[in-house]
Amino acid sequence: MSFAIGIDVGASTIKGVLLSNGQVLMENAGRTFGQTQFEESYGSLTRVIDSLWHPQVMKIGVVTTGDVDVDKGVVTYAVNLPGWTNAPLKSLLEKRYRVPVYIENDAVGALLAEASLLPKHAKITMLTFGTGLGCANFMDGRLIKDPRYAWGNRKFHPEDHATIEDVLSATALKKDAKNTYGKAIFTLELFRRYRKGEAKADEVFHRFSSRLQALFAMIEKEFAPDVILLGGGIMNGKDVIESCLKDCPYPYRFAHYGNLAGAIGATMLPVHI
């Protein structure tokens, strides 16, 4: 049997899976120490890998928030993980575990997992909503790495100061909730309040869905995917997001693998990088 470990490093959580022949055998998670030095987050990463280790593991894939030099296996910039910037993950992990290690952006991992369930030549945009907004695009069986389609870095209008990521992420949602309620509201609590029918929660999610559909319109106009996939931690409130998008005219669906898509897709990296 062939075993592989896939890791998804987010701004707050590290998720990991042990796969064999496409089946998840084990999963575990750890904390990311976003605002501290690299050593704390790296220690958490290795503890997750150690907990999943099997003697027949043949490769490790790691997807992470931020920009990645895929050839060198270095995280070149990670705004949500300051200590992660310039981290030589590939060399460190290969030295420790003595197996090939592959590094990519987290949205790419999520897209690879989901694309494996769709027709081979499907044109796909993947959006992952967490502390930030990740995105990746797929066409004709390959990743499309074009800065024009880095949707989170774009602006809805040229005169805007804020990027799309600034207004469409879990961070943005919590900021809007705090402004609306006059106090901090965690995302899960905000979902609960919406389900109870609170007017303020409805206002927050109405603004979020309006911005999300504006992003869908931009993607449809410039890339025209067959489907826009939604993933990341914020989609744990799938029922709420779906309710807000009930009249959405754009071709979207939620990630089949949910919040594990990035970790599962990380094991597929050797095929695509």
273 pLDDT band, cuts 50/70/90, is very low
pLDDT at 137 over 90: yes
Q: What is the maximal distance between C-alpha atoms in the chain?
A: 55
Same domain, 125 and 250: yes
Please tell me whether residues 145 and 248 are part of one structural domain: yes
The CATH number of the domain holding residue 17 is 3.30.420.40
pLDDT number for residue 18: 97
Question: What pLDDT, in 10s, does the model give residues 184-212?
Answer: 999 999 999 999 999 999 999 999 999 99
Whether the predicted pLDDT of 38 surpasses 60: yes
Predicted confidence at residue 271, as pLDDT, reads 62
What pLDDT digit, counting tens, does each position of 255-271 carry? 999 889 999 999 999 76
Q: Are residues 20 and 77 in the same domain?
A: yes
Residues 11 and 105 both lie in one domain: yes
Kindly tell me if the per-residue pLDDT of 272 is higher than 60: no
Question: Is 84 in the same domain as 170?
Answer: no
Considering the domain architecture, whether residues 138 and 47 belong to the same structural domain is answered as no
pLDDT at 244 over 60: yes
Is position 116 within any domain? no
> Comparing C-alpha atoms, which of 269, 272, 5, 263 is closest to residue 110?
263
* Residue 60 pLDDT > 80: yes
Across residues 76-89, what is the average pLDDT? 83
Contact assessment for residue 113 and residue 61, using Cβ atoms and an 8 Å cutoff: no
| pLDDT at residue 239, rounded to an integer | 94
Please tell me the total count of domains within the chain. Answer: 2
In a domain, 175, yes or no: yes
What pLDDT score does 34 carry?
60
Task: Quick: pLDDT tens for 212-243.
Answer: 999 999 999 999 999 999 998 887 899 999 99
Q: Are residues 243 and 125 in the same domain?
A: yes
Is 131 inside any structural domain?
yes
Residues 25 and 88 in one domain: yes
Same domain (yes/no): 137, 205: yes
Statement to judge: residues 238 and 268 lie in one domain: no
What pTM value is reported for the model? 0.88
- Tell me: do 133 and 231 sit in the same domain: yes
Q: What is the pLDDT of residue 35?
A: 58
Distance CA 83, CA 161 (A): 26
Q: Is residue 45 part of a domain?
A: yes
Per-residue model confidence as pLDDT tens digits over 93-133: 999 999 999 999 999 999 999 999 999 889 999 999 988 89
Q: Which of 56-60, 148-152, 267-271 has the lowest mean pLDDT?
A: 267-271
**86 and 185 inside one domain:** no
115: in domain: no
Domain with 97 in it: 3-110+261-272
